[in-house]
Copies of this chain bind each other. A is one copy, B any other.
Amino acid sequence: MFVRVTADSAPRPNSLRDLGMTSDSNTLVSLSEFSYRKGTEIYGEKEPAEYVYQVKSGAVRSYKLLSDGRRQIGAFHLTGDIFGLENGSEHRFTTEAIVDTAVRLIKRQSLETVAESDAMVARNLLSMTTSNLQHAEDHMLLLGRKTSLERVAAFLLEMDKRLTAAGVIALPMSRRDIADYLGLTLETVSRALSRLHELGVLGFVGNTQRQIVLLDRNQLANLDLQS
């Protein structure tokens, strides 16, 4: 669990713009790229937070474990997402590549140094942390109070927003991952999807079970009784 995956590419300098830092300063921070194969760990919970990561391609899950193996996935990180940004010195989740994944990484310390002098960067760090907080807050409502059907509906709508290509949601994660994200079992997730299929809310593409078409977003949104 604490084995750091080694990568093959060399560091190369870049600007912070890719991190959503629209700072004008041309500050150079050490940037490099890593690749992780499907299923490998990127960092472990309680490891020192040396780097911040941005997904170039692929998908990442970040989760916590109980001692008996129960798992709660806190978030999925998709192309463009930044993760591993901690204020303290330790990571609070374990992260793994769901599929083969390429990430860009930034030394945490260099980011902090820049933030110290550049108010714009500091504000962006706060803004990113706030987005994460907001997501966690919404997810608490889902985990604490929603039914299985509502959870799956909310999940599909979230993924629809984040990775739809041509109306089709190509899910990178397994039923088990979805279940551990939604606080359910994989069987319950599967049953909920079948039920939504029966209801005519969604369709499946081809023979692969990972591609989903949303046919009735309104009905989905009604299942996911917001507010």
Q: A: which residues have CB within 8 A of B? A: 45, 64-68, 70-72, 74, 86-88, 92-93, 116-117, 119, 122-123, 125-127, 129-130, 132-134, 136-141, 143-146, 180, 182-183, 225-227
Q: A71-B145, A92-B137 are in contact. List 6 more A-B contacts (CB 8 A).
A: A67-B227, A72-B140, A72-B145, A119-B122, A129-B130, A136-B137
- Pick 18 A–B contacts, CB within 8 A, sort by A: A64-B137, A64-B138, A64-B227, A65-B227, A68-B225, A72-B144, A86-B130, A87-B130, A116-B119, A119-B119, A119-B122, A126-B126, A126-B129, A132-B133, A136-B136, A136-B137, A136-B140, A143-B144
A70, B145: Cβ atoms under 8 Å?
yes
For A65, list chain B residues within 8 Å (CB): 227
For A72, list chain B residues within 8 Å (CB): 140-141, 144-145
For A133, list chain B residues within 8 Å (CB): 129, 132-133, 136
For A116, list chain B residues within 8 Å (CB): 119
Which of the listed residues A93, A125, A180 has the most CB atoms from chain B within 10 Å of its own CB?
A125
For A144, list chain B residues within 8 Å (CB): 72, 143, 180, 182-183
For A93, list chain B residues within 8 Å (CB): 137
* Copies of this chain: 2
A225 and B140 contact, Cβ closer than 8 Å, known pairs A72-B145, A116-B119, A130-B87 = no
For A127, list chain B residues within 8 Å (CB): 87
Question: Which residue of B87, B92, B140 is within 8 Å of A143 (Cβ)?
Answer: B140
CA distance A180 to B66 in the complex (A): 22
Question: Which residue of B64, B117, B122, B132 is within 8 Å of A141 (Cβ)?
Answer: B64
Closest to A73 in B: B144
CA distance A139 to B182 in the complex (A): 13
B122, A126: Cβ atoms under 8 Å?
yes
CA distance A87 to B143 in the complex (A): 24
For A137, list chain B residues within 8 Å (CB): 64, 74, 92-93, 136
For A136, list chain B residues within 8 Å (CB): 133, 136-137, 140
